[in-house]
Amino acid sequence: MKNILKYLVVGFIFGIVLTKSEAVSWYRIYEMFQFQSFHMYGIISVAILTGVIGIQLIKRNQIKDIKGEAIVIQDKEKGSARYWIGGLLFGLGWALVGSCPGPIFILIGAGFWTVFIVLFGALLGTYLYGLLKNKLPH
Amino acid sequence: MEVIFQTWPWYFSGFIIGMIMMSLIYFGKTFGMSSNLRSLCSIAGLGKRVSFFDFDWKAQRWNLVVVLGAMIGGFVAVHYMSDPSNVSINPETIKQLSEMGIDAPNGKLMPEALFGTQILQSPKIIFILLIGGLLIGFGSRYAGGCTSGHAIQGLSNLQIPSLKAVIGFFVGGLIMVHFLLPLILN
């Protein structure tokens, strides 16, 4: 139970911060891609900066995880086509409906019921990828 | 108390998001939201038809709990921590949007024109939301991650594949906002 609780708490904070920073807002995503505000760029940059420092600290000090095991962060698979094409398609969707996978769930939780349509589309897209996976260049 | 209701500044929010990823790494996990979409497909029984969904989703249950927490967080933030001063975007942006028929935020997170319940009577808007979702789901699985997995965790771990994906995200986003969205909405 305690095991589950920590994930719930982390998720809860994630939901609050993404909502209160307005990173879940369609308007903020549009504004970002119009280069009309620094807000979203600031959020993403500081998150990455925090992560770079944190991960370097873990690697250099060989910090163990909560169970006392060595922390290993898997490298992403090598490749190009999947990242360029997949990334491009994702970006088109992200800017169209103004939400990425985390915010889709957060917005539904917040009571924006029409976002269920986006979630349904996202599940359909995930299914489609599963179907076509072996025919696509990676 | 005031600070709870205002828009949270980027430096604070970015730091907390970074720390959320660090917490998950400390728990021996990774930061990635789109993987949950694959788990949901597997729970729906699609593993019987498509091998990509034939995996042990129960090992990913922790991530679904993160999502559940995030949904509760979204509920609390919207219902108990909001203020009409929120979403004060650039006036220039508001002007551009009104020319495309998108209402100004006035404290709302989402435009009524695209997400209000009246859109259920508009096949066009329903189609837009569906296609947007489809691109997000397909694209994130094809690229092997989304904003959390690639932009935050991947770049934090200095991964070149993630850099390619994130450049892809931004090129796609710029094409949509500058060229396609005006055509779609007009």
DSSP string, B95-162: HHHHHTTPPP-TT-SS-HHHHSGGGGG-HHHHHHHHHHHHHHHHHHHHHT--IIIIIIIIHHTT-HHH
Count of domains in chain B? 1
- Best of A5, A13, A18, A27 to disrupt the B interface (most B CBs within 10 Å) is A27
Q: Is A35 left (phi over 0), alpha (psi -120 to 50) or beta?
A: left
Structure tokens at B51: 């091998």
Cβ–Cβ gap B21/A51 under 8 Å: yes
Asked if residue B103 belongs to a domain, the reply is no
Chain segment B14-72, per-residue pLDDT in tens = 999 999 999 999 999 999 999 999 999 999 999 999 999 999 999 999 999 999 999 99
All structural domains of chain A with their residue ranges: 2-37+74-135
CA distances from B55 to A128, B42, B52, B67 (A): 17, 7, 7, 19
Chain segment A24-48, per-residue pLDDT in tens = 999 999 999 999 999 999 999 999 9
Structure tokens at B28: 């021996």
pLDDT at position A67 is 94
Q: Residue A1: is its pLDDT beyond 70?
A: no
Asked if residue B2 belongs to a domain, the reply is yes
Q: Residue A137: is its pLDDT beyond 70?
A: yes
- Average confidence (pLDDT) over A79-96: 98
Q: Residue B2: is its pLDDT beyond 90?
A: no
Range of the domain at B74: 1-81
- Average confidence (pLDDT) over A2-10: 93
Q: What is the ipTM of this complex?
A: 0.97
**From the centroid of its chain, how far is CA A7?**
16
Cβ pair B20, B12 in contact under 8 A: no
Q: Which chain A residues are Cβ-neighbours of B57 within 8 angstroms?
A: none
Minimum-distance CB partner of B168 among A49, A88, A118? A88
Cβ–Cβ gap A117/B27 under 8 Å: no
- DSSP per-residue codes, A102-123: HHHHHHHHTT-TTHHHHHHHHH
pLDDT band (50, 70, 90) for residue A119? very high
Asked if residue B62 belongs to a domain, the reply is yes
Cβ–Cβ gap A23/B13 under 8 Å: yes
